[in-house]
Homo-oligomer: A and B are copies of this chain.
Amino acid sequence: MKTFEKRFKVETLSDTIELSGPEVQHMRVLRLKNGDEVHLFDGSGWEARARIEEMDTFTATLVVLEKFQNDLELPKPITLALALLKGDKLADVVRACTELGVSRFQLLKTQYADVPDLGDNKLVRLKRIAEEASKQSRRAVVPEVLSPITLKQLPSVTKGFVAHPHTQSTLLEHLTWDSEVWFATGPEGGFSAAEIELLQHKNFLPITLGKRILRAETAPIALLGALASTGV
């Protein structure tokens, strides 16, 4: 059994924990039984080793054996402001970028997007994908996925970067870890000139991702890959 399969998310890491519903079903699927050890995480950075004390069809009582802070997070939280994309592309980006350490996804409505908005069901699905990817990559933080807003509604940030063709500036020459970091990536058609200007007003610095044209779903993974390659 792979380690991540024995990881379960809980609301709060108290000394004794009662679980019910899908987490218990999942334990039964994995054929876990009384006395077995599992890993718990609370989605905010804390983890624990715990032992199953009692389990029946619907509920399980666990005792926390050891609590520790998971150190797999990036030095500061990263928010990815991500333009809406068609089909399963958003899911692919959320999955890969959760593995790569993103703390929060802020979906964006943009001028050249192929999709104007996102249904509630799709938002719920993206949240579930973020949770699954967080488990699989053994992170203790489950990234938030925030409903789409317009670029005008996006706050001014302390430090932001927007992937933009025909730019010379590079991420790593401008990145420092003294505050949280925002990234913005556009839709298939890219950001419009007006949108890039608006993002610059909000402290997003245009940066290069090389000379070739990247698909909208490749750009954010490449950007986060640049961070990962520094070993953080």
The chain A residues found within 8 Å of chain B, CB to CB, are: 4, 71-72, 92, 95-96, 99-101, 136-139, 168, 170-172, 207-215, 218, 221-232
> Which of B92, B95, B101 lies in contact with A212, CB distance below 8 A?
B101
A99 pairs with B214, CB closer than 8 A: yes
A221 pairs with B96, CB closer than 8 A: yes
Q: 12 new A-B pairs (CB below 8 Å) besides A71-B211, A99-B214, A137-B213?
A: A99-B215, A99-B218, A100-B210, A100-B218, A170-B229, A170-B230, A172-B172, A208-B228, A209-B225, A222-B228, A223-B225, A225-B225
Question: Complex formed: what's the CA distance from A99 to B214 in Å?
Answer: 6
A208 pairs with B226, CB closer than 8 A: no
> Which of B139, B168, B221 lies in contact with A222, CB distance below 8 A?
B221
> Which of B95, B211, B227 lies in contact with A72, CB distance below 8 A?
B211
Q: How far is the CB of A161 from chain B (nearest CB, A)?
A: 10
Most buried by B among A72, A212, A226: A212
CB closest residue in chain B, given A211: B72
A229 pairs with B226, CB closer than 8 A: yes
Q: Which residues of B contact A213 (CB under 8 A)?
A: 4, 99, 136-138
Question: Complex formed: what's the CA distance from A99 to B134 in Å?
Answer: 27
Q: How far is the CB of A45 from chain B (nearest CB, A)?
A: 13
Q: How far is the CB of A212 from chain B (nearest CB, A)?
A: 4
Are A171 and B222 also in contact (CB < 8 A) when A99-B214, A215-B136 are? no
Which 3 residue pairs spanning A and B have beta carbons closest together? A222-B225, A225-B225, A226-B229
A229 pairs with B212, CB closer than 8 A: no
Question: Complex formed: what's the CA distance from A87 to B230 in Å?
Answer: 30
B210 pairs with A101, CB closer than 8 A: yes
Question: Complex formed: what's the CA distance from A114 to B83 in Å?
Answer: 34
